[in-house]
Every structure is written in structure tokens, then in C-alpha cells.
Structure 1
Amino acid sequence: MTTYSLTSALMRRGAEFLGSDHAILCGAMSWVSERNLVAAISNAGGFGVIACGAMTPELLDTEIAATKTLTAKPFGVNLITMHPMLFDLIAVCAKHQVGHVVLAGGIPPKGSVEAIKESGAKVICFAPTVALGKKLLRSGADALVIEGSEAGGHIGPVSTSVLAQEILPELAQDNLVFVAGGIARGEAMAGYLEMGACGAQLGTRFACATESIAHPLFKKAFFRASARDAVASVQVDPRLPVIPVRALKNKGSEEFTAKQIAVARMLDEGSVDMGQAQLEIEHFWAGALRRAVIDGDVERGSIMAGQSVGMVTKEEPVVDIIATLLAECEQALARRKAA
């Protein structure tokens, strides 16, 4: 068995926190991060995370149970904070004694962090700024993920490299901070680990793994794409606060613009309030993503991908992806140590 002593030393805190061999999380990708990919990542020594997305509590219950039949290793569940049944989903995680819950999509609503921790689970939150990171830690978050705009899916406005420089020196010494967004090679992981990160989260790099159930046409779109093909969506109406989404540009991108106009009109007419309007947008993305990932509709579906997509060129088993990342990271750290 290959050992990665330099990498393991820098990942030790993160790996111990996750209960995995390596502090490499899989970003939660709706329709992609399901039982097969999640179990494969955990079995390979990483940390798989189920993407709950728009699932009902019943569907999440089934998915967690099915994942447990495929791996005895730890894995987590990602919950969207604006989900209308968030507390029911938290109860499902507690029922299955899920050890780690990731809260994404906004500031956790009152009582949600406490509800998760009541079952003994650890809470991981996304922090786009130092101030919010500190607030989340004070509110009970056990670890943070800082994710830059290079990532796929929902993104913030600031790049990973800038977030790392702002947040790691402030928070990483005394807290667990994972870095995400645009990471596809071990050399990048090495740099962030040396800055104080306790591990890394990757999504796009795992989306086309052999164990991923994504449609062959979805994977082929990844293999053909370059970094500049993964573009962020545009906000049409300033009254409708839509979190940008990064995906490969296609007809589906144009349809999202039309969807925003339609939802803004519903706001004008008073047929929906702001919360309902945002859920309309989220349901659009869930449906569009499903068409691409499951049905293979790469023309009108949403092919969510980070800018690292240009480095995803072939289908590989998860175990090989993780081994390559670790080897690259170890070699980079060894070169710097020898210099």
C-alpha cells in the first residue's frame, strides 16, 4: 500500500474529523452524488457526500439506507438550507446516525445546527467571508468549506485563491477549513494544505468517474469541454436574488434566462412571494440537471461543471482518481521540502 506521509501529515486533522483515510471530500452534486459514487469515494479512502438537493424525506431515507449497503465507511449528507422540509430531512439523518451533515445554499435557519448536533452529528457549513465564517463557528459549525467561484453549480463571487488568502490565515490554525472550487490536481491541494487547509473538496473531478451514474452523453460533454466553456448564469432582475450557477453553456442556459423573466413577472403579479420565487428557481435547476445527468439531454439540460472541467478528459475509477491526486500532492510537497 502506497503511503503519502507528507500529505497525510497535513490532512491529519481533516481525516480524523471525517473518519476517512484522506481528507478529500466529494462535493455534493445533485443526481450525481448518489449511493454509487458516494460509496465508491468512501471505500477508496475519501469522504463521499450524498446530495439531498430537492429530495423528499422519504427519498433521502431510501438513499442513505442504500448507501449503507454499499459501504461501511463514513459518509455525509448535504442539505440545502432553503429546503421547505429541512428539519424533516435532519430527522432522517439522525435516524440513520449520519455522522456529518453539510449545510449549503445560505445561512442555516434558526435551530437547524442545534437539531443536527442533537443526534451527535458534526456540522459543516460554507463560509464565503471571514466574518460569516466566524459567525458560523460561533453558532456551532464544526468545520467550514470555502468554495471559490471556479466551482460548478451554485457559486459565490470570489475566486478560490483569494478566499484562501483571506480566510485560511485568519481561521485555519484553530479551526477545520476545507478548500473547494477549481481543484482538479494534487499540486493545487498541496498549496492549500500548506496554507493551513485541513483538506480539499472536489466535485467536477469525480463527476465522470466510472462509478458515476451520469449519462454517457453528460460525461462526453465534460470530456469535450475546456475551462472557458463552464460559464456562470446571469441575473436578469435585480429584485430576484438568484445565486449564479456555473454550467457548460447550451440551450438550457438560455432557458434559465427566460425562467427568471417568468418568475419576476409572477412576483409583479403577486402570485408568489420571494421565498416561493427562489424555490421556483431551485426547482428549475433540479429538473434541468436531471435531464442532463439522467436522461442525457445535453442540449436543454443543465450540465453543471466547474472550470476544472478541462482537466477531466476520461472516465476513471474513483480509486485511481484519488490515488493520482494523492501522488501529485505528495510529489509537490516533497519537491518543496527538498528545495
Structure 2
Amino acid sequence: MNKIKELFKIQYPIIQGGMIWASGWKLASAVSNAGGLGLIGAGSMYPEVLREHIQKCKKATQRPFGVNIPMLYPDLDQIINIILEENVKIVFTSAGNPKTYTAFLKEKGVTVVHVVSSLKFALKAQDAGVDAVVVEGFEAGGHNGRDETTTLTLIPMVRGQVHIPVIAAGGIATGAAMYAVMALGADGVQIGSRFVASEEASSHDLFKQKIVAAKEGDTQLTLKELAPVRLLKNKFYQDVQELYGRGTTVDELKELLGRGRAKKGMFEGDLVEGELEIGQVSGLIHDIKPVSEIVENLVSSFQETKERMYQIEI
């Protein structure tokens, strides 16, 4: 039995990342209905907006779904209370200390998963008592690690030293990539960028088209002094690079970033001044599809890869 399927009671060991400005109730419920685990991204929601999305997701799917909470955001106590009041039983935490809420949530019967970008933090998450870890290589979009360790390097490192289930993330948009990371020891996958380019994602259509148009080298990991993010290269990205070229300070980076920069780009569709967070794998995404087709393609190409690998001899 697959550990991730068993842990979440889902059909396929495929988790949808809780990406900000993309992961509303429509995306989460569609992924859950397709056999994976959908996550509502709380990072871009005020507490009562999150409640609304949870309630709508409950009506749209009878299958398990969860909430992703970036722990560097405000209103954490309110968000946790809403999750408990709405009886959500799966929580993914990220961008913070897993000890903060893990024990409390588990006492309330919640399954807790923490997102990490290094072996060191995977071990800390395990010590904190989480039920599984998402291990994310630096290919990923959004909030990222500072060490630039790739997914194919990180997964076997973590697998060799933790005993809890491991979910691979970063650079996974195909069934072949899913097969590769599971061959290296992952029990399942978390996929973000491929689901951003779906019909059900709440991100702006212009941003989705920008993802489809992206090619190799069109993204870059930056802003490590604040919170590392992988961005599509646009005017805002170039403005950031100009600051670095002059020998910038943290305060100057904060001033340039300002407030609502990610919302402006990914939700409102400002491709010039907005922050456009996406993974390297955007170079492999060539269309915008319904979630059901994306999941179906992942599963079928995984099986095709599995059959092909059986025929290879060394």
C-alpha cells in the first residue's frame, strides 16, 4: 500500500501545492475529485475568506482536502481556529517552525505535513511530530530554499534519514518525473506549477499564458535576503537585479517589493510590475488544461514510464 494514499485516504499519491493566488476552492476540489489531494492556499486569504473557501470546497467535493498555511503570514491564530471550527482534518505548514502548531493540531485529530527544503529541516520537522514532510528542491516556484539543492539530490538524502513518509516537490509536472522521484525514495509528489496552468486555478489568465510561453532559463531564484522565491523574468525582476548590481540592502529590497506585489502579478495579471512566482518546470508546460486531464495524464504517463523502465537493461 502506498503510504501517502493510506495517510490521506486518496486514490493517487498526488498532492496539489497550496500556491498563493492560485489555490482556491475550485482548484482544491477539482484535484480532490480527480483522485489527488487538493489544498486551499491560506497564504493569500484573510481568515474569513479562508472560511468561505473551505465551506465552498466542502460542497464541491466529498473527498479529502486540506489547507496550506505559510507560517510567516499574520493572523495565524485566527486561521488555525477557522480550520478547526470547519473540521478540516489535513494541514500543510510551510515557511516557519513546525513546532509552533504541530502538537496542538495533532491533539485535535489533524494530520500535519510540513514543507522543507533541506535535510536539516526535514529532521526538525520529524522531531516536531509531523505525519509527513514535503521535500522541495530549488527548482520549485514560490517560497524556496536558500541552499539551491535540487530535488533529485534532496530526496535520497532525506529518505535515508527519516522514517516518516516523504513527498517530493520541485520540478515535477509529468508522470515520468513522478516515477523518477519515487524511484529515489519519495512516497508521493506535490505539484504546483502544473496546477497553476489549469482551468480551475484562481490565478489570472494572463499569468497562465505567461507560464505556457516560458522557456528554459526564464525563471530565477532571487530575494534570498527576504524569503527566497523563483520568479519569471519581467520588469519587476529586472528592477530587483538592478538593486543587486548596485549592492542593495534588505531595506531597499523591502521597499521595492512593497505590499501586494504577488497579488498584482499572479492574481491581477500585471505581467510588468507584478511578482510572478513559478517553478523551473514552467518550461515544460505548454497548455492550460482542466485538472481532470492533468491528473489523468500524470497517472497514464507514470504507468507508461514504469512499463518502459521494465524493458531497459544495463
Q: TM-score with structure 1 length normalisation?
A: 0.84
Counterpart Cα distance in 2 of 1:153 and 1:304:
5
Q: Do residues 304 (structure 1) and 294 (structure 2) align?
A: no
Alignment-mate amino acid for residue 267 of structure 2? I
* Mapped pair 1:48 → 2:38: yes
Which runs of structure 2 are paired with 1:170-319 in the superposition (5 Å)?
Answer: 170-171=161-162, 174-235=163-224, 241-256=225-240, 264=251, 284=259, 287-319=260-292
How far residue 283 of structure 1 moved from its aligned partner, in angstroms, is: 6.8
Question: For the residues of structure 1 that align with 2:5 and 2:16, how far apart are their CA atoms?
Answer: 13
Unpaired stretches in structure 1, ≥5 consecutive residues: 1-8, 236-240, 267-276
1:169 to partner: Cα distance: 2.5
Aligned mate of 2:143, from 151, 154, 163 = 154
Does the residue aligned with 1:106 lie in a helix, a strand or coil? Answer: coil
Tell me, in whole angstroms, the C-alpha distance in 2 between the residues paired with 1:313 and 1:265: 36
Q: CA, structure 1 residues 63+230, in 2 after alignment: closer, same or farther (shift >3 Å)? A: same
Q: Distance in 2 between matches of 1:282 and 1:185?
A: 33
Helix, strand or coil for the counterpart of 1:200?
A: strand
In structure 2, the residue matched to 1:68 is: 58
Question: 1:75-107, CA deviations, whole angstroms, 9 ceiling, x for partnerless residues?
Answer: 111111122321221111111111111110122
CA contact (8 A) 1:101 1:121 kept: yes
* 1:257 Cα deviation from its structure 2 partner: 6.2
1:164 maps onto 2:151 in alignment: no
Partners of 1:135 and 1:293 in 2: CA distance: 32
Q: Which amino acid aligns with 2:189?
A: A
CA contact (8 A) 1:97 1:119 kept: no
Residues 294, 134 of structure 1: CA spacing in aligned structure 2 closer, same or farther, 3 A cutoff? closer
- Over 3 Å counting, the alpha-carbon distance change for 1:326 and 1:248 in structure 2 is same
SS, match of residue 294 in structure 2: helix
Q: Take 2:78 and 2:243, find their aligned partners in 1: how far apart are those partners?
A: 29
Deviations 1:210-247 (A, max 9, x none): 22232221111111111310111244xxxxx4221101
Match of 1:59 among 31, 42, 49: 49
Structure 2 residue aligned with 1:5: none
CA distance in 2, matches of 1:93, 1:188: 32
1:5-20 → structure 2 map (5 Å cutoff): 12-20=2-10
CA contact (8 A) 1:81 1:109 kept: no
Which amino acid letter does the alignment assign opposite residue 162 of structure 1?
T
> After the TM superposition, which segments of 4 or more aligned residues of structure 1 sit over 3 Å from their partners?
254-263, 280-284
CA contact (8 A) 1:169 1:195 kept: no
Sort the Cα spacing of 1:256 and 1:65 in 2 relative to 1 into closer, same or farther, 3 A.
Answer: farther
Contact kept, 8 Å, 2:266 with 2:277, in 1: the verdict is: no
Q: Following the alignment from structure 1 to structure 2, what is the Cα–Cα distance between the partners of residues 281 and 99? A: 38
The count of aligned residue pairs is 307
Closer/same/farther in 2, CA of residues 244 and 49 from structure 1, 3 Å limit = same
Instruction: Measure, in 2, the Cα distance between the counterparts of 1:46 and 1:281.
Output: 38
Aligned to 1:272: none
Residue identity in the other structure for 2:53:
E
Q: Structure 1's 257 and 97: CA in aligned 2 closer, same or farther, altered over 3 A?
A: farther
Looking at structure 2, the residues matched to 56 and 214 of structure 1 have their Cα atoms a distance apart, in angstroms, of: 17
Decide which moves more: 318-327 or 62-71. 62-71
Q: What is the aligned-residue identity percentage? A: 32
Separation in 2, partners of 1:82, 1:217: 28
In structure 2, relative to structure 1, the CA distance for the partners of 1:262 and 1:220 (3 Å cut) is same
Structure 2 length normalisation: TM-score?
0.90
**Is the Cα contact below 8 Å between 2:17 and 2:192 reproduced in 1?**
yes
Name structure 2 gaps, 5 residues minimum.
Answer: none
2:140–2:169 contact (8 Å) kept in structure 1 = yes
C-alpha contact (below 8 Å) 1:15/1:22 kept by paired residues: yes
Amino acid at match of 2:234: N
Number of the residue aligned with 1:96: 86
Q: Distance in 2 between matches of 1:283 and 1:46?
A: 36
Root mean square deviation of aligned Cα:
2.3
Deviation at 1:125, TM superposition (A): 0.7
CA distance in 1, matches of 2:302, 2:295: 11
Whole-angstrom CA distance in 2 between matches of 1:330 and 1:168: 23
